Amino acid sequence: MSHDPNCIFCKIAAGTIPSRKVYEDDELIVFHDIAPWAPVHLLIVPKAHIVSHAELTDEHAALAGRMMVLAPKLMREMGVTGGFRTVINTGRDGGQEVMHLHMHVMGGPRPWARG
């Protein structure tokens, strides 16, 4: 599994930067966004350093599917019942700030801070 020593999400996955973690397995880590847009704002992050959604290929299909399937499960566990928004920002024009693939999952009663 590849890691980038300068990448903030690699450091969170390795535990060298703290986070409010809600889920972890061999391939994925999930934690609360530090600047939430919604009452519940999670980031689903592969532990491998994959730069963005643009880098995904057929070999990542199972991993990407697991990210997708995990989102509703965690929202249920967090008590989110009114729906949620999933967002993946990709590259400069996609507004991506952290260059390590992540899926935002936002839910909870509106109004939200953003989004």
- Spell out where the chain has E strands: 21-24, 28-32, 40-46, 84-87, 103-107
Look up 53 and say whether it is catalytic. no
Distance of CA 60 to the CA centre of its chain: 16
CA dist 70 and 62 (Å) reads: 12
Site string for Zn ion, 41-80 (x = CB under 5 A): --------x-------------------------------
Q: What is the largest CA-CA distance in the chain?
A: 39
Binding of residue 100 to Zn ion (CB under 5 A)? yes
Could you tell which of Zn ion, ligand 5GP, none binds residue 105, using a CB distance below 5 to 8 A set by kind? none
Q: Which residues bind ligand 5GP (CB under 6 A)?
A: 8, 17, 19, 31-35, 89, 95-98
Known catalytic residues are 102
